[in-house]
A and B are shown apart, each in its own frame.
Chain A
Amino acid sequence: MSETLHAVSVEVNGKPRSAQVPARLSLVDWLRDDLLLTGTHVGCEHGICGACSVMLDGEPVRACLMYAVQAHGHRVTTVEGLAKPDGSMSVLQDSFCEAHGLQCGYCTPGMLIAAQGLLNTNPDPTEAQIRDAIGGNLCRCTGYQQIVEAVQLAAERTAKEAK
Protein backbone atom coordinates (compact mmCIF):
# COMPACT_ATOMS: atom_id res chain seq x y z
CA MET A 1 0.00 0.00 0.00
CA SER A 2 1.41 3.36 -0.88
CA GLU A 3 0.65 6.35 1.28
CA THR A 4 0.98 9.95 0.23
CA LEU A 5 4.26 11.43 1.44
CA HIS A 6 4.56 14.98 2.72
CA ALA A 7 7.68 17.10 2.79
CA VAL A 8 8.69 18.38 6.22
CA SER A 9 11.45 20.73 7.24
CA VAL A 10 11.98 21.00 10.96
CA GLU A 11 14.72 22.51 13.11
CA VAL A 12 15.65 19.68 15.46
CA ASN A 13 18.07 20.52 18.28
CA GLY A 14 19.29 23.51 16.30
CA LYS A 15 19.89 21.63 13.03
CA PRO A 16 17.65 21.78 9.95
CA ARG A 17 16.23 18.35 9.11
CA SER A 18 14.08 17.49 6.11
CA ALA A 19 12.20 14.36 5.16
CA GLN A 20 9.27 12.89 3.26
CA VAL A 21 6.82 11.39 5.73
CA PRO A 22 3.43 9.69 5.62
CA ALA A 23 0.81 11.80 7.39
CA ARG A 24 0.17 9.26 10.13
CA LEU A 25 3.80 9.04 11.27
CA SER A 26 3.91 10.44 14.80
CA LEU A 27 6.52 13.02 15.67
CA VAL A 28 8.09 10.70 18.23
CA ASP A 29 8.43 7.86 15.70
CA TRP A 30 10.05 10.21 13.20
CA LEU A 31 12.52 11.47 15.80
CA ARG A 32 13.45 7.96 16.95
CA ASP A 33 13.19 5.79 13.86
CA ASP A 34 14.28 8.17 11.10
CA LEU A 35 16.47 10.74 12.87
CA LEU A 36 17.78 8.10 15.33
CA LEU A 37 17.27 10.46 18.24
CA THR A 38 16.35 7.62 20.58
CA GLY A 39 16.64 9.66 23.76
CA THR A 40 12.95 10.48 23.54
CA HIS A 41 11.02 7.44 24.74
CA VAL A 42 7.75 5.97 23.54
CA GLY A 43 5.49 4.91 26.36
CA CYS A 44 1.75 4.73 26.01
CA GLU A 45 1.41 6.30 22.54
CA HIS A 46 -1.86 7.94 23.51
CA GLY A 47 -0.93 10.93 25.57
CA ILE A 48 -1.04 9.60 29.12
CA CYS A 49 2.51 8.85 30.28
CA GLY A 50 4.56 11.86 29.17
CA ALA A 51 7.67 9.77 28.30
CA CYS A 52 7.71 11.21 24.76
CA SER A 53 7.70 14.88 25.85
CA VAL A 54 9.72 17.21 23.62
CA MET A 55 9.77 20.96 23.27
CA LEU A 56 7.93 22.45 20.33
CA ASP A 57 8.98 26.07 19.80
CA GLY A 58 10.29 25.99 23.39
CA GLU A 59 7.18 24.58 25.06
CA PRO A 60 6.82 21.01 26.33
CA VAL A 61 4.34 18.92 24.30
CA ARG A 62 3.65 15.22 23.85
CA ALA A 63 5.38 13.94 20.70
CA CYS A 64 2.98 11.00 20.40
CA LEU A 65 0.04 13.40 20.01
CA MET A 66 1.47 15.18 16.99
CA TYR A 67 2.09 13.91 13.52
CA ALA A 68 5.57 14.61 12.18
CA VAL A 69 4.03 16.49 9.26
CA GLN A 70 2.63 19.01 11.77
CA ALA A 71 6.11 19.95 12.98
CA HIS A 72 6.89 21.45 9.55
CA GLY A 73 8.35 24.93 9.98
CA HIS A 74 8.72 24.56 13.75
CA ARG A 75 11.56 24.05 16.24
CA VAL A 76 11.83 20.79 18.16
CA THR A 77 14.13 20.19 21.12
CA THR A 78 14.60 16.64 22.35
CA VAL A 79 16.43 15.46 25.45
CA GLU A 80 19.59 15.25 23.30
CA GLY A 81 19.24 18.99 22.79
CA LEU A 82 19.37 19.74 26.51
CA ALA A 83 23.06 18.81 26.82
CA LYS A 84 25.71 21.52 26.66
CA PRO A 85 27.30 22.16 23.24
CA ASP A 86 30.35 20.05 24.20
CA GLY A 87 28.06 17.11 24.90
CA SER A 88 28.39 17.24 28.68
CA MET A 89 25.25 17.14 30.79
CA SER A 90 23.19 20.20 31.56
CA VAL A 91 22.77 21.43 35.13
CA LEU A 92 19.36 19.75 35.27
CA GLN A 93 20.61 16.45 33.89
CA ASP A 94 23.53 16.43 36.32
CA SER A 95 21.16 17.23 39.18
CA PHE A 96 19.06 14.18 38.29
CA CYS A 97 22.22 12.05 38.70
CA GLU A 98 23.24 13.79 41.90
CA ALA A 99 19.82 13.61 43.57
CA HIS A 100 19.12 10.09 42.28
CA GLY A 101 16.17 11.35 40.26
CA LEU A 102 15.93 8.18 38.23
CA GLN A 103 16.05 4.43 38.52
CA CYS A 104 15.10 2.60 35.32
CA GLY A 105 15.33 5.80 33.28
CA TYR A 106 12.31 5.22 31.11
CA CYS A 107 10.43 8.37 32.15
CA THR A 108 13.60 10.45 32.50
CA PRO A 109 13.73 12.17 29.09
CA GLY A 110 10.13 13.28 29.53
CA MET A 111 10.78 14.40 33.08
CA LEU A 112 13.82 16.40 31.96
CA ILE A 113 11.86 18.14 29.20
CA ALA A 114 8.96 18.93 31.55
CA ALA A 115 11.29 20.20 34.27
CA GLN A 116 13.44 22.24 31.87
CA GLY A 117 10.25 23.76 30.44
CA LEU A 118 9.34 24.87 33.96
CA LEU A 119 12.79 26.23 34.83
CA ASN A 120 12.96 28.19 31.57
CA THR A 121 9.93 30.25 32.58
CA ASN A 122 10.20 29.97 36.37
CA PRO A 123 13.82 29.67 37.57
CA ASP A 124 12.84 29.53 41.26
CA PRO A 125 9.78 27.26 41.46
CA THR A 126 8.05 26.12 44.63
CA GLU A 127 7.69 22.43 45.34
CA ALA A 128 4.01 22.63 44.37
CA GLN A 129 4.92 24.25 41.05
CA ILE A 130 7.46 21.50 40.36
CA ARG A 131 4.91 18.81 41.14
CA ASP A 132 2.39 20.51 38.87
CA ALA A 133 4.92 20.77 36.03
CA ILE A 134 5.75 17.05 36.13
CA GLY A 135 2.13 16.09 36.83
CA GLY A 136 1.72 14.83 33.28
CA ASN A 137 4.69 12.46 33.49
CA LEU A 138 4.41 9.01 35.00
CA CYS A 139 7.33 7.41 36.87
CA ARG A 140 6.89 3.91 38.22
CA CYS A 141 10.19 3.72 40.13
CA THR A 142 11.08 6.70 42.24
CA GLY A 143 7.88 7.80 43.89
CA TYR A 144 8.69 11.23 42.43
CA GLN A 145 10.35 12.57 45.59
CA GLN A 146 13.91 12.45 44.25
CA ILE A 147 12.76 13.88 40.93
CA VAL A 148 11.31 16.88 42.76
CA GLU A 149 14.55 17.20 44.74
CA ALA A 150 16.60 17.01 41.54
CA VAL A 151 14.65 19.91 40.03
CA GLN A 152 15.07 21.91 43.24
CA LEU A 153 18.81 21.19 43.18
CA ALA A 154 19.03 22.32 39.55
CA ALA A 155 17.26 25.56 40.39
CA GLU A 156 19.64 26.22 43.29
CA ARG A 157 22.72 25.43 41.19
CA THR A 158 21.58 27.62 38.32
CA ALA A 159 20.95 30.51 40.72
CA LYS A 160 24.44 30.08 42.22
CA GLU A 161 26.09 29.96 38.80
CA ALA A 162 24.36 33.18 37.83
CA LYS A 163 25.87 35.04 40.82
Chain B
Amino acid sequence: MKAAPFEYARAASLSEVCALLATHGDGAKLLAGGQSLVPMMAMRLVRPAWLVDINEIAELKFIAVEKDMARTGACTRQGAVERDHALAARVPLLRQALAWVGHVQTRNRGTIGGSLAHADPCAELPLVAQVLGARMLLRSGTGARTLEAEKFFAGPMATNVRPGECLEEIHWPAWSWRHTGSAFTEISVRHGDFAMVAAAAQVAIDGDGRCVRAAFGLGGVGGTPLAFPKIAGRLVGTRLDDAAVNDAAHAAATETQPGSDLHASAEYRRHLAGVLAARALREARERARSL
Protein backbone atom coordinates (compact mmCIF):
# COMPACT_ATOMS: atom_id res chain seq x y z
CA MET B 1 0.00 0.00 0.00
CA LYS B 2 2.80 2.42 -0.77
CA ALA B 3 2.99 4.41 -3.98
CA ALA B 4 5.67 3.54 -6.50
CA PRO B 5 8.46 6.13 -6.74
CA PHE B 6 7.70 9.32 -8.68
CA GLU B 7 9.22 12.71 -9.26
CA TYR B 8 7.46 15.61 -7.55
CA ALA B 9 7.07 19.26 -8.47
CA ARG B 10 5.21 21.79 -6.34
CA ALA B 11 3.89 24.35 -8.82
CA ALA B 12 3.64 27.93 -7.63
CA SER B 13 1.44 29.22 -10.45
CA LEU B 14 -0.84 28.07 -13.22
CA SER B 15 1.73 29.04 -15.85
CA GLU B 16 4.25 26.80 -14.09
CA VAL B 17 1.73 23.95 -14.19
CA CYS B 18 1.29 24.42 -17.93
CA ALA B 19 5.06 24.48 -18.46
CA LEU B 20 5.53 21.29 -16.41
CA LEU B 21 2.72 19.53 -18.28
CA ALA B 22 4.25 20.58 -21.59
CA THR B 23 7.64 19.23 -20.52
CA HIS B 24 6.55 15.90 -19.04
CA GLY B 25 3.57 15.14 -21.27
CA ASP B 26 1.62 11.98 -20.54
CA GLY B 27 4.01 10.99 -17.77
CA ALA B 28 2.74 13.81 -15.56
CA LYS B 29 -0.38 13.79 -13.45
CA LEU B 30 -1.87 16.71 -11.56
CA LEU B 31 -2.20 16.27 -7.80
CA ALA B 32 -5.12 18.26 -6.38
CA GLY B 33 -6.76 17.07 -3.13
CA GLY B 34 -5.49 13.55 -3.72
CA GLN B 35 -8.50 11.86 -2.16
CA SER B 36 -8.89 9.57 -5.18
CA LEU B 37 -5.47 9.74 -6.84
CA VAL B 38 -3.40 8.97 -3.73
CA PRO B 39 -5.32 5.74 -2.90
CA MET B 40 -5.08 4.71 -6.55
CA MET B 41 -1.33 5.29 -6.40
CA ALA B 42 -1.11 3.37 -3.10
CA MET B 43 -2.82 0.43 -4.78
CA ARG B 44 -0.54 0.99 -7.79
CA LEU B 45 -3.47 1.29 -10.15
CA VAL B 46 -1.76 4.51 -11.28
CA ARG B 47 2.01 5.01 -11.52
CA PRO B 48 2.74 8.49 -12.85
CA ALA B 49 6.37 9.38 -13.51
CA TRP B 50 5.72 12.94 -12.34
CA LEU B 51 3.25 14.45 -9.91
CA VAL B 52 2.59 18.14 -10.36
CA ASP B 53 1.17 19.40 -7.06
CA ILE B 54 -1.31 22.27 -7.56
CA ASN B 55 -2.29 22.63 -3.89
CA GLU B 56 -0.19 25.72 -3.21
CA ILE B 57 -1.51 27.76 -6.14
CA ALA B 58 -3.58 30.57 -4.64
CA GLU B 59 -5.10 31.60 -7.98
CA LEU B 60 -6.84 28.21 -8.23
CA LYS B 61 -8.62 28.63 -4.90
CA PHE B 62 -11.53 31.04 -4.89
CA ILE B 63 -15.30 31.30 -4.78
CA ALA B 64 -16.89 34.21 -6.66
CA VAL B 65 -20.66 34.62 -6.59
CA GLU B 66 -21.88 36.69 -9.52
CA LYS B 67 -25.25 37.72 -10.87
CA ASP B 68 -26.02 34.77 -13.11
CA MET B 69 -23.36 32.28 -12.02
CA ALA B 70 -20.90 31.28 -9.37
CA ARG B 71 -17.26 30.64 -10.21
CA THR B 72 -15.02 28.31 -8.25
CA GLY B 73 -11.30 27.80 -8.70
CA ALA B 74 -10.45 24.21 -9.58
CA CYS B 75 -8.41 23.65 -6.42
CA THR B 76 -11.04 25.07 -4.05
CA ARG B 77 -11.64 22.59 -1.24
CA GLN B 78 -15.00 20.85 -1.14
CA GLY B 79 -15.31 21.85 2.52
CA ALA B 80 -14.81 25.53 1.65
CA VAL B 81 -17.58 25.33 -0.96
CA GLU B 82 -19.85 23.51 1.47
CA ARG B 83 -19.40 26.24 4.11
CA ASP B 84 -19.86 29.23 1.78
CA HIS B 85 -23.29 30.71 2.51
CA ALA B 86 -23.36 33.15 -0.40
CA LEU B 87 -22.61 30.33 -2.82
CA ALA B 88 -25.23 28.09 -1.19
CA ALA B 89 -27.80 30.83 -1.68
CA ARG B 90 -27.09 31.15 -5.42
CA VAL B 91 -26.27 27.53 -6.35
CA PRO B 92 -27.84 25.49 -3.52
CA LEU B 93 -27.42 22.18 -5.33
CA LEU B 94 -23.67 22.28 -4.63
CA ARG B 95 -24.04 22.26 -0.85
CA GLN B 96 -26.86 19.73 -1.06
CA ALA B 97 -24.65 17.39 -3.10
CA LEU B 98 -21.54 17.90 -0.95
CA ALA B 99 -23.37 16.56 2.11
CA TRP B 100 -23.16 13.18 0.33
CA VAL B 101 -19.48 13.46 -0.68
CA GLY B 102 -17.13 11.38 1.45
CA HIS B 103 -16.55 12.58 5.01
CA VAL B 104 -15.40 15.70 6.84
CA GLN B 105 -11.73 14.71 6.53
CA THR B 106 -11.93 14.03 2.79
CA ARG B 107 -13.94 17.20 2.07
CA ASN B 108 -11.37 19.29 3.95
CA ARG B 109 -8.78 18.13 1.44
CA GLY B 110 -10.70 17.06 -1.67
CA THR B 111 -11.22 19.71 -4.33
CA ILE B 112 -14.05 20.63 -6.66
CA GLY B 113 -11.93 20.40 -9.79
CA GLY B 114 -10.29 17.16 -8.70
CA SER B 115 -13.64 15.44 -8.36
CA LEU B 116 -14.76 16.69 -11.79
CA ALA B 117 -11.50 15.71 -13.51
CA HIS B 118 -11.57 12.28 -11.84
CA ALA B 119 -14.98 11.81 -13.54
CA ASP B 120 -16.25 8.90 -11.50
CA PRO B 121 -19.71 8.18 -12.95
CA CYS B 122 -21.06 7.60 -9.42
CA ALA B 123 -19.63 10.82 -7.96
CA GLU B 124 -21.86 13.66 -6.83
CA LEU B 125 -20.14 16.78 -8.19
CA PRO B 126 -19.94 15.56 -11.81
CA LEU B 127 -23.71 14.95 -11.61
CA VAL B 128 -24.33 18.49 -10.36
CA ALA B 129 -22.14 19.83 -13.18
CA GLN B 130 -24.10 17.84 -15.74
CA VAL B 131 -27.53 18.84 -14.39
CA LEU B 132 -26.71 22.54 -14.14
CA GLY B 133 -24.69 22.63 -17.36
CA ALA B 134 -21.52 23.84 -15.65
CA ARG B 135 -18.71 25.15 -17.84
CA MET B 136 -15.10 24.12 -17.30
CA LEU B 137 -12.34 26.55 -18.15
CA LEU B 138 -9.23 24.66 -19.29
CA ARG B 139 -5.80 26.26 -19.50
CA SER B 140 -2.74 25.08 -21.40
CA GLY B 141 0.56 26.61 -22.40
CA THR B 142 -0.98 27.64 -25.72
CA GLY B 143 -4.28 29.11 -24.57
CA ALA B 144 -7.60 28.50 -22.86
CA ARG B 145 -10.91 26.97 -23.85
CA THR B 146 -14.23 26.25 -22.21
CA LEU B 147 -16.01 22.90 -22.23
CA GLU B 148 -19.63 22.41 -21.20
CA ALA B 149 -20.18 19.54 -18.76
CA GLU B 150 -21.90 17.55 -21.48
CA LYS B 151 -18.72 17.64 -23.57
CA PHE B 152 -16.34 17.47 -20.60
CA PHE B 153 -17.27 13.98 -19.43
CA ALA B 154 -16.19 11.30 -21.90
CA GLY B 155 -16.80 8.06 -20.01
CA PRO B 156 -16.01 6.29 -16.73
CA MET B 157 -12.97 8.10 -15.23
CA ALA B 158 -12.42 9.83 -18.58
CA THR B 159 -12.75 13.44 -19.69
CA ASN B 160 -12.03 15.37 -22.86
CA VAL B 161 -9.28 17.34 -21.13
CA ARG B 162 -6.30 17.17 -23.50
CA PRO B 163 -2.76 16.34 -22.44
CA GLY B 164 -1.13 19.59 -21.38
CA GLU B 165 -4.39 21.14 -20.13
CA CYS B 166 -5.25 22.00 -16.53
CA LEU B 167 -8.77 22.63 -15.24
CA GLU B 168 -8.63 26.23 -14.04
CA GLU B 169 -12.11 27.18 -12.96
CA ILE B 170 -15.71 26.03 -13.07
CA HIS B 171 -18.70 28.23 -13.86
CA TRP B 172 -21.92 27.13 -12.18
CA PRO B 173 -25.03 28.72 -13.73
CA ALA B 174 -27.42 30.28 -11.19
CA TRP B 175 -31.14 30.49 -11.94
CA SER B 176 -32.75 33.85 -11.37
CA TRP B 177 -36.36 32.81 -10.75
CA ARG B 178 -37.43 33.61 -7.22
CA HIS B 179 -39.12 30.23 -6.73
CA THR B 180 -36.20 27.97 -7.59
CA GLY B 181 -35.68 24.78 -5.61
CA SER B 182 -33.17 21.98 -5.88
CA ALA B 183 -32.46 18.64 -4.22
CA PHE B 184 -29.89 15.86 -4.20
CA THR B 185 -30.41 12.31 -3.02
CA GLU B 186 -28.71 8.97 -3.34
CA ILE B 187 -28.54 5.39 -2.13
CA SER B 188 -25.20 3.90 -1.12
CA VAL B 189 -24.13 0.96 0.99
CA ARG B 190 -23.06 3.35 3.75
CA HIS B 191 -23.42 7.12 3.90
CA GLY B 192 -20.27 8.67 2.41
CA ASP B 193 -19.56 5.72 0.12
CA PHE B 194 -19.90 6.01 -3.62
CA ALA B 195 -23.49 6.13 -4.71
CA MET B 196 -25.20 3.07 -6.08
CA VAL B 197 -27.50 5.56 -7.78
CA ALA B 198 -27.68 9.33 -7.24
CA ALA B 199 -30.24 11.88 -8.43
CA ALA B 200 -30.15 15.67 -8.61
CA ALA B 201 -32.93 18.04 -9.61
CA GLN B 202 -33.60 21.75 -9.89
CA VAL B 203 -36.93 23.33 -10.78
CA ALA B 204 -38.29 26.86 -11.00
CA ILE B 205 -41.98 27.75 -10.75
CA ASP B 206 -43.90 30.96 -11.34
CA GLY B 207 -46.25 32.65 -8.88
CA ASP B 208 -49.08 30.34 -9.99
CA GLY B 209 -47.05 27.22 -9.28
CA ARG B 210 -46.40 26.39 -12.94
CA CYS B 211 -43.00 25.05 -13.83
CA VAL B 212 -40.94 27.49 -15.90
CA ARG B 213 -37.75 25.45 -15.98
CA ALA B 214 -36.68 21.99 -14.85
CA ALA B 215 -33.44 20.04 -14.92
CA PHE B 216 -32.58 16.70 -13.44
CA GLY B 217 -30.07 13.92 -13.79
CA LEU B 218 -28.85 10.57 -12.56
CA GLY B 219 -25.45 9.22 -11.51
CA GLY B 220 -24.26 5.63 -11.27
CA VAL B 221 -26.40 4.38 -14.13
CA GLY B 222 -24.09 4.96 -17.09
CA GLY B 223 -20.52 5.72 -18.06
CA THR B 224 -20.98 9.41 -17.25
CA PRO B 225 -23.50 11.27 -15.13
CA LEU B 226 -26.63 11.74 -17.20
CA ALA B 227 -28.91 14.75 -17.60
CA PHE B 228 -32.29 14.51 -19.31
CA PRO B 229 -32.99 17.92 -20.85
CA LYS B 230 -35.73 16.71 -23.23
CA ILE B 231 -37.66 14.88 -20.53
CA ALA B 232 -37.17 17.80 -18.13
CA GLY B 233 -38.46 20.15 -20.83
CA ARG B 234 -41.77 18.31 -20.83
CA LEU B 235 -42.28 19.34 -17.20
CA VAL B 236 -42.33 23.02 -18.15
CA GLY B 237 -45.89 24.33 -18.04
CA THR B 238 -47.09 21.62 -15.66
CA ARG B 239 -47.76 22.14 -11.97
CA LEU B 240 -45.17 19.47 -11.20
CA ASP B 241 -47.85 17.28 -9.70
CA ASP B 242 -46.77 13.82 -8.62
CA ALA B 243 -48.07 12.20 -11.82
CA ALA B 244 -46.00 14.48 -14.06
CA VAL B 245 -42.94 14.01 -11.86
CA ASN B 246 -43.31 10.23 -11.79
CA ASP B 247 -43.74 10.10 -15.58
CA ALA B 248 -40.54 12.10 -16.09
CA ALA B 249 -38.59 10.01 -13.59
CA HIS B 250 -39.80 6.79 -15.14
CA ALA B 251 -38.98 7.98 -18.66
CA ALA B 252 -35.44 8.88 -17.54
CA ALA B 253 -34.92 5.57 -15.75
CA THR B 254 -36.01 3.71 -18.87
CA GLU B 255 -33.28 5.45 -20.87
CA THR B 256 -30.49 4.35 -18.53
CA GLN B 257 -28.27 1.35 -19.07
CA PRO B 258 -26.77 0.59 -15.66
CA GLY B 259 -24.36 -2.24 -14.99
CA SER B 260 -24.56 -5.02 -12.43
CA ASP B 261 -22.12 -5.69 -9.62
CA LEU B 262 -21.90 -7.36 -6.23
CA HIS B 263 -24.03 -4.66 -4.61
CA ALA B 264 -26.85 -4.17 -7.08
CA SER B 265 -28.19 -5.67 -10.28
CA ALA B 266 -28.81 -3.54 -13.34
CA GLU B 267 -32.55 -4.03 -12.82
CA TYR B 268 -32.38 -2.79 -9.23
CA ARG B 269 -30.29 0.22 -10.24
CA ARG B 270 -32.83 1.12 -12.91
CA HIS B 271 -35.58 0.80 -10.34
CA LEU B 272 -33.64 3.08 -7.96
CA ALA B 273 -33.08 5.56 -10.79
CA GLY B 274 -36.83 6.06 -11.17
CA VAL B 275 -37.49 6.24 -7.45
CA LEU B 276 -34.63 8.66 -6.72
CA ALA B 277 -35.27 10.92 -9.71
CA ALA B 278 -38.89 11.30 -8.59
CA ARG B 279 -37.80 11.93 -5.00
CA ALA B 280 -35.30 14.61 -6.03
CA LEU B 281 -37.85 16.32 -8.28
CA ARG B 282 -40.49 16.31 -5.51
CA GLU B 283 -38.06 17.70 -2.94
CA ALA B 284 -36.92 20.40 -5.37
CA ARG B 285 -40.57 21.28 -6.07
CA GLU B 286 -41.38 21.57 -2.35
CA ARG B 287 -38.40 23.88 -1.83
CA ALA B 288 -39.45 26.02 -4.79
CA ARG B 289 -43.01 26.24 -3.46
CA SER B 290 -41.83 27.21 0.02
CA LEU B 291 -39.98 30.31 -1.22
A contacts, CB < 8 Å to B: 1, 3-4, 6, 22-24, 26, 44-47, 50, 53, 56, 59-62, 64-67, 69-70, 72-73, 114, 117-118, 132-133, 135-137
Q: What A residues does B102 contact at CB under 8 A?
A: 136
Cβ-defined partner of A23 (8 Å) among B35, B43, B51, B55: B51
Check if A65 sits within 8 Å of B39, measured CB to CB: yes
Check if A136 sits within 8 Å of B105, measured CB to CB: yes
Check if A46 sits within 8 Å of B1, measured CB to CB: yes
Nearest-Cβ distance from residue A25 to partner chain B, whole angstroms: 9
Residue of A nearest to B4 (CB): A24
Q: What B residues does A6 contact at CB under 8 A?
A: 8
| Subset of 9 A-B contacts with CB under 8 Å | A23-B5, A24-B5, A45-B2, A60-B104, A62-B109, A69-B8, A70-B34, A117-B104, A132-B104
Q: Answer whether A23 and B104 are a contact pair too, CB < 8 Å, given A46-B43, A59-B79, A65-B38.
A: no
Check if A4 sits within 8 Å of B7, measured CB to CB: yes
B103 within 8 A of A: yes
Check if A67 sits within 8 Å of B8, measured CB to CB: yes
Q: Answer whether A1 and B108 are a contact pair too, CB < 8 Å, given A47-B35, A65-B34, A69-B10.
A: no
Q: What B residues does A66 contact at CB under 8 A?
A: 34, 38, 109
Tell me the bound Cα distance from A53 to B34 in angstroms.
15
What total count of A-B pairs have CB within 8 Å?
89
Size category of the binding interface on chain B: 20 to 34
Cβ-defined partner of A135 (8 Å) among B39, B53, B109, B192: B192
| Chain B stretch 29-72: residues in CB contact (< 8 A) with chain A | 31, 34-35, 38-39, 41-43, 51, 53, 55-56
Q: What B residues does A23 contact at CB under 8 A?
A: 5-8, 51
Check if A114 sits within 8 Å of B8, measured CB to CB: no
Check if B105 sits within 8 Å of A114, measured CB to CB: yes
Q: What B residues does A137 contact at CB under 8 A?
A: 103
Tell me the bound Cα distance from A133 to B99 in angstroms.
12
Tell me the bound Cα distance from A92 to B38 in angstroms.
31
Check if A46 sits within 8 Å of B42, measured CB to CB: yes
Tell me the bound Cα distance from A120 to B43 in angstroms.
34
Q: Taking each of B5, B39, B104, B105, which has the highest tally of chain A beta carbons within 10 Å of its own beta carbon?
A: B105
Given contact pairs A50-B103, A65-B38, A137-B103, a sample of 10 additional A-B residue pairs in the complex whose CB atoms are under 8 Å apart: A45-B2, A47-B35, A47-B38, A56-B108, A61-B105, A61-B108, A62-B105, A70-B53, A114-B104, A132-B104
Q: What A residues does B234 contact at CB under 8 A?
A: none
Q: What A residues does B3 contact at CB under 8 A?
A: 24
Q: Taking each of A26, A47, A114, A132, which has the highest tally of chain B beta carbons within 10 Å of its own beta carbon?
A: A47
B246 within 8 A of A: no
B106 within 8 A of A: yes
Tell me the bound Cα distance from A26 to B1 in angstroms.
11
Q: What A residues does B79 contact at CB under 8 A?
A: 59
B151 within 8 A of A: no
